[in-house]
Amino acid sequence: MLHKISKIDIITRPSKFEELKKALNDIGITGMTVSQVLGCGMQKGVTEYYRGVPMEVNLLPKVKVEIVVCEVPVELVVETAKKVLNTGNVGDGKIFIYDVANVVRIRTGQEGKEALV
């Protein structure tokens, strides 16, 4: 039986990562890839001052959490992330959802759902 596999990328503030990680663990997410990234969206960065001179900072530090799910519903992951990350302010982040064609575990050659467990 073919199971739908989805990848969810969550990009948000570094200060929210620990809370997000705990909430995802609580709903059964057992694996994730986490990267420190730089980026900007609507806020277009901020102006900071260096020795009294304004300087435009275009890229802000963010955390990117990548999750691949098969058993845990995508909607549950998205709702959990939104609940934890929403402050109502610009810069809360984005969630991207992709369909995954296949997953292969290199060590054993397992594919699909079996490669995720």
pLDDT value for 58: 76
**In this structure, what CATH number is given to the domain that contains residue 23?**
3.30.70.120
Burial of 24 (C-beta count, 10 Å sphere; 0-12/13-18/19+): buried
pLDDT 10s digits, 44-103: 656 666 677 776 667 889 999 999 999 899 999 999 999 999 999 888 999 999 999 999
DSSP-derived 3-state class of residue 38: strand
d(CA 117, CA 113): 7
d(CA 32, CA 46): 30
Average pLDDT over residues 11-34: 96
pTM: 0.85
How many domains does one find in the chain?
1
By residue range, what is the domain housing residue 51? 5-116
